[in-house]
Amino acid sequence: MLILANVEATNGIKVSAKLLENELPILDALVEGISIVERDPKVRSVGYGGWPNMIGEMEFDAAVMDGTSRQIGAVGALQDSLSAVKVAREVMLRLPHVVLTSAGASRFAKECGFEPEAVLMPDSKRVWRNKIEKTVAPNLIDQFPNIPLAPLSNLITDPERVRDTTVFLGKDDKGDIAVCTSTSGWAWKYPGRLGDSPIPGAGFYADSRYGAAACTHTGEMTMRTSTARCIILAMQLGRSLEDAIKLAIEDLALLKGGFLGGVVIHAMDANENYQVINFNCSETIRYWVWRDGMRTPEQKIAEKHTF
């Protein structure tokens, strides 16, 4: 048994590990763990602790994937509910669809019994409002947000350089592999922006025959190269986990134009080998790993690749 998660998973991974030890299926165990992270105000890249979009609204992206059936549920730009990953699971269980977005995702959440709740943390609202007042021209501030927003997208900067996602990957004692993602997305994003977190094959993918992969940081890049699916497909074609990740990184490095930044790849194979690779992120990237028999998850530092 194995669980791999990024550093924001500090509280949630312990819960997932305990549930896995108690023989809960891997997808259910991961969902419960990541749901704790979504409600942790100390985690500033997901759920309640995240940052709003350009007009001060919280929009959540999340996804789940069962690697044995390869069923997927995902939500994008979900508002009014912190339980984004649980809503994503309900999409997988109840609908013939894979992804719901925006008003449709919020409507579905209510149908499933997720009551609307406060999702914008007061401190996040304060920081956002201060930034808007400093960025928007004085003659336009009274009309905000009913002004052209696209020109602001290159002026407003992330308060903590947050382009991160919470990712959980794992395998249970039956050999089933699953992956979950959740994020509040890029701070100050244009309303309606989707990152890679709810996009199958870009920000996540799982196949119990071969492994799982999930990405964090610059989703605008992994959507262009289908990074997560690239890794799993490479292993399906006979490459090792290490070589599969190398292939995906080489593809990312060839991107030209558009918004380019760093990407962190979390990946495992069906034999429970794993790697976490920091591609072009200037900061030190940490992550969590737990294996069957460990008393507590262990924090490690991702290997750095720079091109």
pLDDT tens digits, one per residue of 260-299: 999 999 999 999 999 999 999 988 999 999 999 999 999 9
Give the model confidence (pLDDT) of 43-58 as tens digits: 988 999 999 999 999 9
CATH number at residue 198: 3.60.20.30
**Could you tell me which residues come within 8 angstroms of residue 139 by beta carbon, excluding any fewer than 6 positions away?**
none
CB 37 within 8 A of CB 60: no
Which is higher by pLDDT, 293 or 65? 65
Separation of alpha carbons 13 and 149, rounded Å: 38
Q: What's the total number of domains in the chain?
A: 1
Give the model confidence (pLDDT) of 114-142 as tens digits: 999 999 999 999 999 998 998 899 999 99
Confidence of residue 307 (pLDDT cuts 50, 70, 90): low
- In b/e form, how buried is each residue of 274-304, taking b as 16+ CB within 10 angstroms? bbbbbbbbeeebebbbbeeeeeebeeeebee
Active site residues: 165
- The structure's pTM equals 0.95
What does the mean pLDDT of the chain come to? 94
Full residue range of the structural domain in which residue 83 is found: 2-305
Separation of alpha carbons 14 and 22, rounded Å: 13
Q: Which helix (H) or strand (E) holds 64?
A: strand 60-66
Give me the pLDDT at residue 90, please: 98
Q: Positive or negative CA dihedral for 140, 146, 149, 152?
A: positive
Give me the pLDDT at residue 305, please: 84
Measured CA angle at 82 (ends 77, 86), to 5 deg = 90
Between 7-11, 201-205, 237-241, 253-257, the lowest mean confidence (pLDDT) is in: 7-11
Of 35, 87, 38, which is closest to residue 63 (Cα–Cα)? 87
Give me the pLDDT at residue 2, please: 98
What percent of the chain is modeled with pLDDT above 90?
A: 89
